[in-house]
A and B are shown apart, each in its own frame.
Chain A
Amino acid sequence: MNDNNTSILLAPLAQRIERDSARITGARKAGRKAVGYFCPHVPEELIMAADMIPVRLAQGGDIEAVAAGEDYLKADSCPYARSCLGFRKTGNPIYTGIDAVCVAYTCDCMRKNQEYWAEYLGVPSFPLGITQTHDRLRSKTQSLEYFKNELDLLAGRLEGLSGQRITGGKLKQAIELTNRIRDILWRLFEYPSSRQTPIEWRDVFRIAQAGFTMDRQEYLDELTLLNDRLEKIDRESLTPDSRPRLMICGSIIAQGDDKVLDIVEHAGGNIVADSVCTGSMFSRKRVTLFGLVGNPMDALAERYLYNIPCPFMTDLPKRLSRIVKIARDYHIDGIIYYSLKYCDTWRAEFKAVRDTAQKQLSIPTLLIEAEYSPADIGTIKTKVEAFIEMMEDR
């Protein structure tokens, strides 16, 4: 990125963790509570409206945390899921600095996480039921009603933890703040759709992840400042980037899980878009309040159930449509399909994505299966280099 390296949004992960954990510790000493969540199906607006601090627990890439997680989950569970438990054991200050976790009932491994957090880590753990077959045409009414009730139940549990009532007013405030964050993040993710971009996708991705642990208002302020600066840059004056344009999609790319991104970058590839749950996927849909008359809980349910579905849900056509649309909008030359080892839900969709990309876009897809250990770096590097070389020859 041009001239923005001083922003806290782009500070190294360790520095941000130190800073954010100190802030959270301070707030807890002052009587506030911090609530963690893993999958982005949990509306952080509810946590904010209960006057607590939302923290997305999405760190990875650490083999010590993975090993520590194996005290609970088996070694053939996805490394991210193992890390979610392991970071608490290894004393990661973000994971130890929370008073409760909210866990959306998504894939097998995350469901087990909820149980182990409650039973073994001594942390109140609130499950959130979420439907998997949310085809709008077939089951909108009953799915939405179920999810709305689950959100009400979660809200009640959060109120019990914080001792604060979640009022409509507080919830609307939280929604407005979060929507403004989403709006700016969306704009940032759109810059790399042009070859003349003032900011690269990799930086936007880092910025999106920085928001997982930052204070929400401070995050919005920083994003606004950054975006104002970017908007002032004359994009026509920038040199067009001629590297092969890639999209990355698949399993969660957690904070600190930089292996594949680094390899692609070093091999001369240019990732310009993504469809991963820690990237643009969850900043692209606002909570619609229909002015001020809508019920905010209804609005939350609609947004969080009908955003881009994670593949634990059955709506594959919607995921494929989104990937095709992004690939077209961002002029993608090839797709990197990132599948964390043992991530069953994403891995099972590789073939559908590859075939669709080939049929509808005539672009190739490369499957990368990775663990958090460095053992597979050589293999991945060879595959990525060959893939990018093929792009350059096209």
Chain B
Amino acid sequence: MSVVTDSPGYKRLVFDKELKSFDGMLDLMGADKNTFCQKGTKLIVKSPLSPAEPVYAAAGLAYDAYTRETVVQAVLGENFNLANAGVDAGLSPEFNPWNLMMAGSLASRGTESGLAGAAIACACWDDQHKKSWQVLSDYLNIPVYFWEIPRYDSDSEKWALRLVRAELEQLFKWLEYQTGRKVTRESLAMAIRQGNMIRRDLQALDELVGDDSRLIGGLEYYIAQLASSDWLPGPVELHGIYSRLINEISLRGQKAQPAPVAGSGKVLRIYLMGDETQQFQLLNTIENCGGRVVGADFRLALYYELIDESGPPLDSLARWIWKMPCNMPTGERIRAALPFIRRQRPDAVIINSTTGSRNLPGSERMVRDIIKRELGIPVLSVETSLPRQDTEKTEYLVRAFIEMNCY
């Protein structure tokens, strides 16, 4: 039994236990971050939707504290009281539970966080994360560096890209100070190549999850996506884990051997949008009610397209960052995501809002309307919070939605 499979949260979820290569992914999600650090390697926090390339180009190890601390403490450990420690540290109790759990988990360990610093992207997609790190910088006594990503507006391209480039150059200097390793053209190009490797893996997973035969469960697909943000335990190692997973799933396809599935008969192909949920059981619920997850845009911004490897790496990275879908106004963001959604051929969309989030939930109505107009498929909005909180209501909504649209 591993730490993960022993955890109370794990026992409440239904995993595809026949998918042996997924064990590596699960262990990765439940691991203590310090186990990733080789002697002298610095662990640098990054925002969940900002690219990991700068940290790896400086020979650091990126750490998505937002996702990992929460998965370990809330989803698996069910230590919900840590949210209060986040409030004690200075966060608003109205913040979303991802930030509260992250802050609470780190603050409860005080200056023993094991983190060398945090490079937090200031963009137009998450005020709470930025403010959480403003608070945590004092509490954890670690250096926090804010770097700017200006909003996407095609009319601003010339000067916005100049700003991103200048911000990246200064970020590199800060990273060099933290890690002792200079970011060079070569190291950045290497990090971009490694990032693209991960992106290709995610694209391959999307293809597999959208396949007509059910090759991978929604929960496994979701967790695999979550692991993509910081490339832990390292880009090459993560690529290895993804490759094993992809190979095993592809093999299922070749053998016409679908994943063990809950229920039978007609299924409703569902694409998930909005905020990531801490209620991992939502993925089980969808399948128990006759749905099947065929894609999700939660981390799409990290692999929406490959970074150009042919041009100057700084320019390519700057352009790619500025055009990340999460950096776009809602209308353009959804229009940029539409080809990816169409490719998964969903029958319906479920939009998740996390209680206390203001960004994606703030544009929920617009997303719903655009999806209905452009794709002509039904959309359900659900709101989730900490694991095990008000799950009955969500289950009821999902069940009714699937029944109504499936038969």
Contact = CB atoms under 8 A, between A and B. Distances in A.
Interface of A: 71-74, 76-78, 105, 107-109, 111-112, 114-116, 119-120, 127, 129, 131-133, 138-139, 141-143, 145-146, 149-150, 153, 311-312, 314, 316, 339, 341-342, 344-345, 347-352
B365 interface: yes
Contact of A108 (B126, B148, B156): B126
B26 interface: no
A351 B135 contact: yes
Interface string B143-171: 00011101101011011101100110010
Interface of B: 90-92, 94-95, 122, 124-128, 130-132, 134-135, 138, 146-148, 150-151, 153, 155-156, 158-160, 162-163, 166-167, 170, 329-331, 353, 355-356, 358-359, 361-366
Contacts of B167: 133, 139, 142
Nearest to A148: B159
Contacts, number: 134
6 contacts: A77-B362, A108-B124, A133-B146, A139-B148, A139-B170, A345-B131
Contacts of A139: 148, 166-167, 170
A146 to B, nearest CB: 4
Contacts of A145: 159, 162-163
Given A74-B361, A108-B127, A352-B90, A129 B134 contact: no
A74 B91 CA distance: 21
Contacts of A341: 94
Given A109-B362, A145-B159, A131 B151 contact: no
B95 A344 contact: yes
Ranked 6 nearest A-B pairs via Cβ: A348-B131, A351-B90, A347-B92, A149-B159, A142-B166, A112-B362
Contact of B365 (A72, A132, A339): A72
A131 B150 contact: yes
B361 A129 contact: no
Contacts of A142: 162-163, 166-167
B106 to A, nearest CB: 15
A116 B363 CA distance: 8
Contacts of A138: 170
Contacts of A73: 362
B90 to A, nearest CB: 4
Contact of B162 (A108, A146, A349): A146
Contacts of B124: 105, 108, 111
A340 B313 CA distance: 44
Q: Which of A73, A119, A133 has the most CB of B within 10 A?
A: A133
Nearest to A339: B92
Contacts of A347: 92, 94
Contacts of A108: 124-127, 358-359, 362
A71 B369 CA distance: 13
Contacts of A312: 127
A142 B167 CA distance: 8
A43 B359 CA distance: 26
A314 B130 contact: yes
A341 B95 CA distance: 11
Nearest to A152: B159
A150 B162 CA distance: 13
Contacts of A350: 90
Nearest to B329: A115
